[in-house]
Structure 1
Amino acid sequence: MSDIQKQQGLGRPTGAFVGASWVALGLGASVYFVGLYNARMLLAEKGFFLAVFLLGLFAAISVQKAVRDRAEDVPVTGAYLGVAWGMLLVSLTLMVIGLWNAELLLSEKGFYGIGFAMSLFAVVAVQKNVRDLAAFRRANPEVAPVARPSFPVVP
């Protein structure tokens, strides 16, 4: 076990938490994309909501990574951390403004807001799990990785 794991008590995330994180991300993103695909709005509006969604996911991952790096004494510049937080706040602000001004039913606005919020939370959890699993495998090379099913290749 590495010094970092000993200090922070990190271990391997449970399969249930890893699975739940991926399911939450898939569900949040799917709900958002299906709603966006079926929305009666201009293509430019759909593009705006798609771009804000993707910016939010990327910014949330960047914030999680930068905060975790700093906690593990990996050098992270203040500029990078500031930009990551700034872009996360920009994406949240743009989503709120976009939904406020969109000609959608209140229930549709809530639908997009919940899909966005759920996806932001889930992408941070997925990133954390990926990083925790990598750290666990580095610290415990004797532990075999989880076997993945192999399927025969049909010519």
Structure 2
Amino acid sequence: MKKQKVSNAFVAASWVALGAGMIGFIVGLARAEMLLNEKGYYFTILLYGLFAVVSLQKAVRDRLENIQVTDIYYGICWFATLSSIVLLAIGLWNATLLPSEKGFYAFAFLLALFGAIAVQKNTRDNMLQE
């Protein structure tokens, strides 16, 4: 089975999703009326989540391609991804923000995570094409 090249439209859409999620989340934090330590918490969760999903995508892809990935690393990737989402949910649940603001942060975060996964997938696919 011949592998198809990733379309330029999907590559662009992936980068747009990553950028829109990250920039939206960060601009929302910059404009929010919350303490600096709260902003730092949410920013750290964003970075942690982005790193976690890229690591998870790589580990899953490696396993699918029969590249050795230890069970402990694979488990840590899943734990990090899920814990970043849970930590954001806990932070938003306890935050004194309007429900619309909480929804904005949740969806910007999830869009950024989706974008990071898609960009990592495209990068890996394009590396295999060369």
After TM superposition, the score normalised by the length of structure 2 is 0.98
Q: Which stretches of structure 1, 4 residues or longer, exceed 3 Å deviation after superposition?
A: none
In the superposition, the TM-score normalised over structure 1's length comes to: 0.82
Aligned AA (2:125): D
Correspondence 1:129 to 2:122: yes
Provide the secondary structure at the position in 2 that maps to 1:123: helix
Find the partner of 2:61 among 56, 65, 68.
68
Cα offsets for 1:26-53 (capped at 9, x unmatched): 0111110000011111100000000111
Q: State the alpha-carbon separation in 2 of the partners of residues 90 and 70 from structure 1.
A: 22
Q: Does residue 30 of structure 2 align to residue 30 of structure 1? A: no
Counterpart of 1:114 (choices 107, 110, 117) is 107
Larger Rg: 1
Alpha-carbon distance between aligned partners in 1 of 2:86 and 2:102, rounded to the nearest angstrom:
14
Q: 2:95 and 2:51 mapped to 1: Cα distance?
A: 24
Q: Which residue of 1 aligns with 2:80?
A: 87
Residue 120 of structure 1 aligns with an amino acid whose one-letter code is L
Number of aligned residue pairs: give it. 130
Q: Which residue of 1 aligns with 2:48?
A: 55
AA paired with 1:90? Answer: S
In the alignment, the residues of structure 2 paired with residue 119 and residue 10 of structure 1 have an alpha-carbon distance, to the nearest angstrom, of 27
Measured after TM superposition, the shift of residue 63 of structure 1 is 0.6
Q: Greater helix percent: which structure?
A: 2
Structure with greater contact order relative to length (CA < 8 Å, sep ≥ 6): 2
Aligned match of 1:149: none
Q: Which residue of 1 aligns with 2:36?
A: 43
Secondary structure, counterpart of 2:3 in structure 1: coil
Identify unmatched segments of 5+ residues in structure 2: none
Structure 2: distance between partners of 1:24 and 1:90: 22
